[in-house]
Chains A and B, each alone.
Chain A
Amino acid sequence: MTEQAANWPDKLFATFKRAGIRQVGYVPDAGHARLIDRCRADADIRDVALTTEEEGVALAAGAWLGGERSALLMQSSGLGNCINMLSLARTCRFPLLMLITMRGEWEEFNPWQEPMGSIVDPVLKLCDAEVYRVRTPDEVEGAAERAVQLAFGDERIAALVLSQELIGKKVWTK
C-alpha cells in the first residue's frame, strides 16, 4: 500500500476539523485506531469512549441540543447495538454522522462477524440513514464531505461505511 493510500484516516480527521466536529464518541476499533488517536490528541475535540455504541447516538443528540457537532465511530457489529436509539435521531431529526468500519465481508477470518456485517447496508437504509460506501482510499474524502453536508445541513443520519477491503485484513497470527 502506498503512503497516500494508508493515510485515509488522516483525511477523515481533516474533514472533522473542517466541519468543526467537537465531540467524537467511539467504541474502540482497529480500523478506526489512527482516527481515534488523532481525535484524542486534538485539544478542540472531546473524545468520549463509550461502553456501547448506542450511547453515542444519545451523546450526539445532546451535543446538537447544545450547539455542537459530533461524530460517532464504530465497527459494523456496533450498528446492531444502536437500532432502537436511532429512533431518537430520526424522530427529532438530530444530525448523526456515523463512521462504520466493516467486518465480515472481505477475507474475514471470524465467521461471528458475518451475520451483522452482512446486513449493515439494509439496516441503515431501514433506519432512514443515507449510506456512503467507500471502497478505495481516493473515495474517502469526497464521501466524507458529502456525509458531513447531509448530516448537519439536512439534520439527518449519514453513515460513512468503510469497506473491509479499504481497511485491510486483520492479522490473526501472533
Chain B
Amino acid sequence: MKLERRAAMAALLAGRDKNLLVVPGLGSTTWDLFAAGDNDRNFYLWGAMGGAAMIGLGLALAQPKKRVAVITGDGEMLMGLGAFATVGIQRPANLAIIVFDNGVYGETGMQPSHTQSGVDLLKVAGACGIGTCLDVGDEAALSDLADRLKGFTETLFARVQIEATEPPRVLPLRDGVALKQRFRTALGVGA
C-alpha cells in the first residue's frame, strides 16, 4: 500500500518549526510543498532539474544550526545522481534528502523512470556513505520520518513510496528573485 503524495507531504511538515528549511524539486514536489502551506523558508524550484540536493547541500553547510530538507522526485534525483556521492563525502549533520518515489515522470506523461525497473535509490545513497537510509512505505514509517525531521543529527536519506497519481496542480510564486529574497530575509541574511 503506497502513500498518497499530498498527504505524505502534509504529514512530514505538520508542526514544522522555524529551523526547518525546505527545498523541493521542480514539478510535483514543488506543487506538493506549496499545497502543504506556503512558507518563506521554502525555496520552490521551477527548473534546475538535478540540482535540488546540491542546493540543499550548499544551504546546509551555510546554515549549520538549521535543518534542511530536500524533498524531490525520483526523476529529479536520477538526473543529479552524482550529488549522492558529493553529499556522501560532506555529510552535513543537518541535511535530509527525501525522494518521493513513484517510479514515473509525472509531469511529462507518466513515463516510467529507472526506479520502476530496479534502480534502488536507497542502495545508491547507502553506497555513497549516507549513514541513515530509510525506506518509507507505510503510515508508521512516515510518522517516524516526520519525527526525525524535527531533530535529526546526521545526514539522512529517505525514499518515500508514493502512488503514481496526479493531484491538481497548485502553483506557488515563480519569480526566482522574489523567492530568493524572501528566503534570505526570513533567515536574516539579506534585505
- Using CB atoms and an 8 Å cutoff, list the residues of chain A in contact with chain B: 22-23, 46, 48-52, 54-68, 70, 84-85, 87-88, 91-94
Which residues, 68 to 125 on B, are CB-close (under 8 Å) to A? 80, 82-83, 85-86, 89-90
User: With contacts A55-B82, A67-B190, A93-B177 known, is A62 near B54, CB below 8 A?
Assistant: yes
CB distance from B3 to the nearest CB of A (A): 27
Query: Which of A66, A84, A88 is the one whose CB lies under 8 Å from B187?
Result: A66
The prevalent SS among residues of B at the interface is helix
CB distance from A132 to the nearest CB of B (A): 23
CB distance from A68 to the nearest CB of B (A): 4
Chain B residues touching A, range: 35 or more
CB pairs A–B below 8 angstroms (21 shown): A52-B82, A58-B50, A58-B53, A58-B54, A58-B55, A59-B54, A61-B48, A61-B55, A61-B58, A64-B180, A65-B62, A65-B180, A65-B183, A65-B184, A67-B63, A68-B61, A68-B62, A70-B58, A87-B47, A88-B51, A91-B47
Counting residue pairs across A and B whose Cβ atoms lie within 8 Å, the total is 118
Cβ of B140 under 8 Å from chain A? no
- Check if B62 sits within 8 Å of A66, measured CB to CB: yes
Q: A62-B23, A64-B62, A67-B62 are in contact. List 14 more A-B contacts (CB 8 A).
A: A51-B86, A55-B51, A55-B82, A62-B58, A62-B59, A65-B43, A65-B59, A65-B187, A67-B190, A68-B58, A68-B62, A85-B51, A88-B48, A91-B47
Which residues, 133 to 191 on B, are CB-close (under 8 Å) to A? 176-177, 179-180, 183-184, 187-190
Q: Produce 1/0 per residue, B15-42, CB < 8 A to A.
A: 0000000010000000000000000000
Cβ of B57 under 8 Å from chain A? yes
List A contacts of B52 (CB < 8 A). Answer: 58
Using CB atoms, name the residue of chain B closest to A46. B61
List A contacts of B82 (CB < 8 A). Answer: 50-52, 55
User: With contacts A57-B51, A67-B63, A85-B48 known, is A91 near B176, CB below 8 A?
Assistant: yes
CB distance from A88 to the nearest CB of B (A): 4
- Check if B180 sits within 8 Å of A92, measured CB to CB: yes
Alpha-carbon distance between A60 and B59 when the two chains are bound, in angstroms: 9
List A contacts of B54 (CB < 8 A). Answer: 55-56, 58-59, 62
